[in-house]
Each structure stands twice: as C-alpha cells, then as structure tokens.
Amino acid sequence: AYPDTLYVSELIAPDTVNTMPEATLQAYADHGKPGRAVKDQYESAAAVMEEIRATGVDMDDAFRTLEKEGVDKFTGSWDELMNSVSDELKRVG
C-alpha cells in the first residue's frame, strides 16, 4: 500500500500550489516529511519525457488538454462553492 502522504510528498516543489483532500492535508501535517522530491527527479523526468516524445506522442497537445480539463474541473468546483456560499448567506441573511 502507498503512504497516505504520497500525493503531497512526491509533488513538493518551489513556487507551486497543490490541492488535496482534507484527509491528505491532515496526514501530511501529522507525519509528512518536508523535502524537495521533485527537484531530485528533474533529470530522470526529462529522460522519460524524451522517451515518450520519441514514440510520437504530441506532449504539447497532451499538456494543453490536461491543463484545459484541470481548469474546467476547478472552475466547476469554484462555481459550486460560490453557489453554496451564496445560498447559505441568503438563508441566514
């Protein structure tokens, strides 16, 4: 089984923002190990990216698609949150 902090520990990098479920945040606050895991992986990640490109995958297109889908999901979540807050403010008004 993977550690409950894996999602956070493996994505720590300078100048980044990460979203996560509250349970993951609590687990990391409790027993996470701060570090710079991403920085230690730059060279191997670059090699993997080159291997993927060599197979003919259009990585620029893949990144554009992933970015658009990610933004769309966060936009939907944000709108849902704003509607919930607005409804609650009207209710307690």
pTM here? Answer: 0.57
3-state secondary structure the chain: CCCCCHHHHCCCCCCCCCCCCHHHHHHHHHHCCCCCCCHHHHHHHHHHHHHHHHCCCCHHHHHHHHHHHHHHHHHHHHHHHHHHHHHHHHHHC
What mean pLDDT is predicted for residues 23-35?
91
Closest CA to 36 of 53, 11, 66, 4: 11
CA 62 – CA 68 distance, rounded (Å) = 10
Residue 87 has pLDDT above 80, yes or no: yes
37-71 pLDDT, tens per residue? Answer: 777 788 998 999 999 999 999 999 999 999 999 99
